[in-house]
Structure 1
């Protein structure tokens, strides 16, 4: 019997926070005496428990009936839509289906997975279960029938580029299937801070910002050491605003003011009103409305070819073999390889092997391997961007004072500035790696972080302080002491910075974006270290998003978009250009594939 593998895309959006997640019907409440003691290790009844997730406590209600786990309700959680809340939905379902605690975490949602599993484990312990036995219990796996599907366009990868490509292809009248090896959609886009660079005269004029397409083009090309393909750069900047407008047509709302994300070099970064995950939400809603099929936990292993043209793929889907035929084309949107230490070592031997990454665990270069096997040329593979803003423990971009460059400054462990904060990302990272322990503190104050203010990852300043990710103090001297710095050195650094803001000139470091003084208590600091962030190299494409061979010939039926491609950013990517890239070229790949005869 064929397994049902199509996952309802509602798992990404929705309703999970509104009330409860009900898997089956439940019975009594905590405090009720278990109704019946049955044979075995568990007592029938209803048990409540909670554990710490990524964004606070996860509270559940678990029902045991006749020595079986019959129901798990999630009563409360604050996990991120499209990332952590996927674990909140899927893990209870797996526990009930397998009657065990031997279930996999959801990739990309480690802390949320641990939280929900911790709460379930606590409830089962209260019920008298043999928890250690349940952790090792093996679920029975029935043999699964092979699957065959067909569509006009097949998209490999359900991150931002893949979702944009799918929506675009559907708008052109093509039938579309999207696959992703992960248990959730969104890829790195769901984890990003959400900055989208585009020259936008209407918004920028209101802020007194002078900009032009030529300026964006020049900064992008020069910012990548002139090692990008000028035609691809021109296509990116010329179509970036059109991408913003396309997303607005899909229902995404942007804030009225643009800003400068770290490493963007100019104030043209657009931020959605729903800052964290807004891009994926808008694309996902469009996919749902258009009934585009998404197959999760479905991994492509190889591209199928016929007389040099790519005509489909073979892989696995939740344990079953799967073949999908593409009548018009296959779009590779599998992301980069920053999460693969092996590939990082292969292409960039100077990068520390133990460097953590901001990327989700699925960014392991699969599309590069498949594309090269089909004859694709790889360009710029040694260009890897490390970001100086990773969590010291996990490498994650969450958990810090993430707003525009206008709102913060950097100091090392001695309390001194060491680089202009509006520099290129590679320059900032190189400077940071030369500091003690390769660590710095991002400093901000209450001019930016007023009560209730959220960073770019939807985390409030109160939550950041409560979690210990951000340190707060009522005076600069107190903050210096909490950071184990000499208060005299730290306060002198702040005073010199404030003087630069007043004069509009930073004589020592040359910072150009000088808008806000650090003079309003409370003051805040968050520790940051280098982290592998973006791989600029990949499959060579043209402006139609068609994949090219080493001889610069088009591979019929093969398209690519997003971080799996190379040649767009050169040796260094400007902050805010990645989201523009995935939308502009994702949209282009979908349209090109749909138009192929």
Structure 2
């Protein structure tokens, strides 16, 4: 959609003029005669939450006839909501003076500023001068919301410039619902504040860049977009306290025009799980290695996970673990993936897993423990990885002897010689510097396409998903490999084990218990769950079985679904809590961000919470089933049919469709109003990629290895998965990342040194 929007804009624009904007950055304008009227198009740009937001308005005389807003880095489900809705309001009112979208204040402000710029241009108003920065000298403490907690910065200023910036606190949220005696409590506790290892990439870079440029228009740090934006908003807060106008700090940052050229035996694009493993194993072979990493850190999605698939590691043997037989696991894996995978590649992976875990302990200092889930084919990070990324030091140790790391550098294209061999990479640094790395072997380890809405929809039946992994992974490596002649293979599906309320938003103005009501309802087995069509699609109690199977049920039904609650059930929940609708235990499936309520918690404020949820579109209300279907976009006939069938089965005491336990079959009643809570699956990474052989060498459509090109991690996991869904086997993605990276590094290093 964004690409189509841009095409429309560029079709309309025939001449582009660039200048500066008060309070924004750049703007453009064009015009054309149309009969007796004059159509003109102008574009304003302002800083949003994740980066630049561009608003293009076409006027017929002084009336707007088109408003388009684009912000590729705004948060899915929050900022994108403003991008979709505010242009309509601006067009309808013919003015930028419209109400912000609740929950998307920063993006809304940017859209309005950019629109105002375009309007000013259409009137011929001068917008070239920035306001003067005048402040009261001193030291000020600013605060703003980060990814999870509150970021506090201390800023020292003179009368007209910033002298220094320092992060002084990373304040966690409060959540007294977490049982801190529970062994897994470390995960949700760590999620209450911004992840220190991600935040470090911000504090190591942004303060100096802001001070040096005296501008808040610096780029966010890739891989730390939300923390970067929160940090800069905290700096803005301090500037306001000093009496300054933050708009004076919107000085545009000039791009660097320099070019750099490097030589190496092996160049690796991407420093996540597979990329760092490839670095270490290629170095073990004696190759010179250059690593290109888009973000400011290494570890990727692997530092957000915890358990790689492992057969025969020393820790398992020393503790007499009854390890699953390799042949048995091979047969189970093949069966779950319908035998539609490369058996030889899978076998080499399984044969490598045990030695790889031992190698990681020695090479990277990884500290392994036995599976806390008592599974016999995985091991576990001992360090707290999900929240604090305690394994970050180990990933850094894996690349400690690499010849060069180019951080904040994005691979753009592969260099292919006249014989079709891949012999290097063209890349670009965050500041615009062009980079060429000539190499004998190139390994693509860029982490998939989860952050690319268009690619996700292309390969997932029109769906993209809420991101729990890394939004920076937008498929550049996949597309580069295809351009070099590789064939796509089993692309589709995502790795996802958790669900949440839509947009990962929280209803404001309530305590933590009431805030958890929407999430709790969304995972309660005794409530009806339907898909976007209004069709019941699963046993709502499936989470109590397999986390993977349950989430795949959800994924197969799109990017969101609805939990339905009747007024009759609302009255019971107010008076008795979940216990009143058949729950004798806490609903399963805590997602680290929100905890479900206990069965005896009386939801006395449920109606007020759901009303607040309507404002940010995580909850909907209809006086009748048909009306609820209309406001949620469900098909009324399908929805009514499914509710009536569910009620009948509840009366009969038997779920004849999905075999849900009878105690959880709760009748909705026959009178409205009715409510729907919007829930979403949380995705770690995409699945699929390009086809590889057992050496991780990329293959063409006719099965020919492409000289010099290797693909590891998510970029090649389609060779061992069928492109439909994540299997019911834990440790697959992380295990494949470590092992494919190690294998690819070995083979790429050997080939380069021949």
TM-score after normalising by structure 2: 0.58
Gap change, CA 1:308 and 1:386, over 3 Å in 2: closer
Gap change, CA 1:40 and 1:530, over 3 Å in 2: closer
1:8 maps to which residue? none
State how far apart, in whole Å, the 2-side matches of 1:346 and 1:437 are. 20
Of residues 201, 226, 238 in structure 2, which corresponds to 1:111?
Answer: 226
Kindly report which structure 2 residues correspond to 1:434-513, keeping only aligned pairs within 5 A, or say none: 437-438=561-562, 469-473=594-598, 476-478=599-601
1:90 maps to which residue? 205
1:572 has 2:686 as partner: no
State how far apart, in whole Å, the 2-side matches of 1:445 and 1:284 are. 42
Of residues 281, 305, 321 in structure 2, which corresponds to 1:193?
Answer: 305
State how far apart, in whole Å, the 2-side matches of 1:542 and 1:483 are. 55
Kindly report which structure 2 residues correspond to 1:514-525, keeping only aligned pairs within 5 A, or say none: none
2:750 maps to which residue? 595
Question: Contact conserved, 1:54 with 1:115, CA < 8 A, in 2?
Answer: yes
Kindly report which structure 2 residues correspond to 1:103-182, keeping only aligned pairs within 5 A, or say none: 103-134=218-249, 136-139=250-253, 141=254, 143-182=256-295
Of residues 218, 240, 248 in structure 1, which corresponds to 2:361?
Answer: 248
Question: Contact conserved, 2:274 with 2:737, CA < 8 A, in 1?
Answer: yes
Unpaired segments of 5 or more residues in structure 2? 1-131, 171-192, 506-511, 513-521, 529-538, 565-577, 610-657, 662-676
SS at match of 1:380: coil
Of residues 575, 586, 590 in structure 1, which corresponds to 2:741?
Answer: 586
SS at match of 2:708: strand
SS at match of 2:436: strand
CA deviation digits over 1:459-493, x for unaligned, max 9? 7xxxx5xxxx22444xx2217778899xxxxxxxx
CA deviation digits over 1:516-539, x for unaligned, max 9? xxxxxxxxxx99632444433211
Give the CA deviation at 1:563.
0.4
State how far apart, in whole Å, the 2-side matches of 1:584 and 1:471 are. 36
SS at match of 2:694: coil
State how far apart, in whole Å, the 1-side matches of 2:317 and 2:420 are. 47
1:221 maps to which residue? 334
Question: Contact conserved, 1:47 with 1:61, CA < 8 A, in 2?
Answer: yes
State how far apart, in whole Å, the 1-side matches of 2:584 and 2:433 are. 51
Gap change, CA 1:60 and 1:321, over 3 Å in 2: same
SS at match of 2:210: helix
State how far apart, in whole Å, the 1-side matches of 2:257 and 2:147 are. 35
1:299 has 2:413 as partner: no
- How large is the Cα RMSD of the aligned pairs? 3.6
State how far apart, in whole Å, the 2-side matches of 1:258 and 1:557 are. 41
1:211 has 2:324 as partner: yes
State how far apart, in whole Å, the 2-side matches of 1:590 and 1:322 are. 22
Corresponding pairs, count: 481
State how far apart, in whole Å, the 2-side matches of 1:527 and 1:206 are. 45
CA deviation digits over 1:213-257, x for unaligned, max 9? 123222322222322211122122221111111111121101234
State how far apart, in whole Å, the 2-side matches of 1:180 and 1:557 are. 20
**Which protein shows a greater Rg?**
2
State how far apart, in whole Å, the 1-side matches of 2:284 and 2:318 are. 32
Give the CA deviation at 1:114.
3.2
Give the CA deviation at 1:210.
5.5
Gap change, CA 1:48 and 1:431, over 3 Å in 2: closer
TM-score after normalising by structure 1: 0.72
Gap change, CA 1:291 and 1:593, over 3 Å in 2: closer
Unpaired segments of 5 or more residues in structure 1? 1-38, 261-265, 400-408, 450-454, 486-506, 511-525
Kindly report which structure 2 residues correspond to 1:341-490, keeping only aligned pairs within 5 A, or say none: 341-348=453-460, 350-353=461-464, 355-381=465-491, 383-385=492-494, 387=496, 389-394=498-503, 411-412=524-525, 414=527, 417-419=540-542, 421-423=544-546, 425=548, 428-431=551-554, 437-438=561-562, 469-473=594-598, 476-478=599-601
SS at match of 1:379: coil
Greater percentage in helix: 2
Gap change, CA 1:445 and 1:197, over 3 Å in 2: farther
Question: Contact conserved, 2:273 with 2:299, CA < 8 A, in 1?
Answer: yes
Question: Contact conserved, 1:395 with 1:531, CA < 8 A, in 2?
Answer: no
SS at match of 2:601: helix
State how far apart, in whole Å, the 2-side matches of 1:173 and 1:479 are. 65
State how far apart, in whole Å, the 2-side matches of 1:255 and 1:445 are. 30
CA deviation digits over 1:102-147, x for unaligned, max 9? 233333323322332232112111111112332x3223x2643211
State how far apart, in whole Å, the 1-side matches of 2:311 and 2:348 are. 13
CA deviation digits over 1:253-293, x for unaligned, max 9? 01234426xxxxx55332211131355431212313x1541
1:7 maps to which residue? none
2:99 maps to which residue? none
SS at match of 2:155: strand
State how far apart, in whole Å, the 1-side matches of 2:502 and 2:204 are. 27
CA deviation digits over 1:322-374, x for unaligned, max 9? 11100x311011121222121122223x2435x32333122221112111111
1:316 maps to which residue? 428
Question: Contact conserved, 1:258 with 1:269, CA < 8 A, in 2?
Answer: no
Gap change, CA 1:546 and 1:291, over 3 Å in 2: closer
Question: Contact conserved, 1:223 with 1:572, CA < 8 A, in 2?
Answer: no
